[in-house]
Amino acid sequence: ITSRKILLAFIPSLNEICDDFVELIRRKRDSNGCVKDFQDLANTVGLEIICCLVLGRRMGFLSGDRQKNEKFGKLAEAVKSTFVYISRSYYGFKLWKYLPTQLYQDYVRCEEIIYDTIAEIVNEALQEEQQQCSEDDVRSIFLSILQTEGLDTKDKIAGIIDLIHAAIETFSNTLSFLLHNLSHLPEKQHKISQEFDSVNPVTSTEMSNATFTKACIKESYRISPTTPCLARILEEDFVLSGYHLNTGTVVICHTRVACQNEQNFRNADKFVPERWLEQVDENQNVYKLDEPGAPLVLPFGTGRRMCPGHRIIDIELTLVMAKIFQQFEVEYHSELDTQFQFLLAPGTPIEVIFRDRN
């Protein structure tokens, strides 16, 4: 799924999805240009994108179909709730390990909704699938997963469900934070629009050259990551800052705190995407700013446990930013409150104003 060949083949379909997303924003705006509860729309486009990539077909979640919207609404709520329940299960005495507590029952109910809904989507795609698709076609991903030997079909479908499940909430949160970080910086929005001008469809060349857009995405990862900390279980004894930690100890690295520390980043509390770009001094010498904390920006983890979806979401965000800022100037109409739900997520409904760009 994360191979360059597959992702390049996916860009035309992603262009179509992002164009439909822009039209959905237009339909949902009120007379003042305000979209209420923007995260619902972000969830919707996130699901459409990951389903199209994995299943090789458009599922129609951006079409306004009432039945599909109701189905997706239940799925999105269940996905959000599972992260809340997982977070709550981490603290205090874990009675749920021994008895089916209310927390456990609520979690199971949400997982059943997620499994049943996504399984229905997968089975619908399976029934429609034609066996004649070329090797470089995005649709071949679905077939290649289902045709993999050594795994039961149920396990394969469960893997697809896990992938779709994980992609929905993380994309939605990341997009919401990114727009918030840019909402009070119209000059940076304009620079993003200039990188893509009026190009449509956006090609891999424009995306590769969009250095400022990518810098904005990376800076948003730094200042408001959806995954604010990394957890690892030590495989051997380890001495950390003079403390001896035994094998099996759970170590949590709070990267968000570290990334907002002035010892690691200049103006750490400011959204400054230029910190990631090459600079030119008065003698036309090219250099990069020395940011000691640069290695701490790890939105997808690191090492063997690194999230395999990092290339996918970078392409998604770059193209969504291109399409949004080609068409709109963006302002947040409401304060952004965050809460920890195992992931970092908006704590209140989001209202975003989309004004047509002249």
- Residue 307 marked as a ligand binder: yes
303: DSSP letter: G
> Hey, what amino acid is at 145?
I
C-alpha distances in Å from residue 108, one per residue of 91, 103, 115 = 18, 9, 10
The three-state (H, E, C) secondary structure of 254-282, written as one string: CHHHHHCCCCCCCCCCCCCHHHHCEEECC
C-alpha distances in Å from residue 58, one per residue of 14, 23, 119, 288 = 10, 16, 16, 42
Query: How many Cα atoms are found within 13 Å in the side-chain-facing hemisphere of 170?
Result: 22
Dihedral of alpha carbons 59, 60, 65, 66, sign? positive
The span from the CA of 340 to the CA of 346, in Å, is 9
> Hey, what amino acid is at 120?
E
Query: Would you say 297 and 221 are in contact if contact means Cβ atoms under 8 Å apart?
Result: yes
Query: How many Cα atoms are found within 13 Å in the side-chain-facing hemisphere of 84?
Result: 13
CA 347 to chain centre: 17
Binding residues: 307
Binding residues for heme: 307
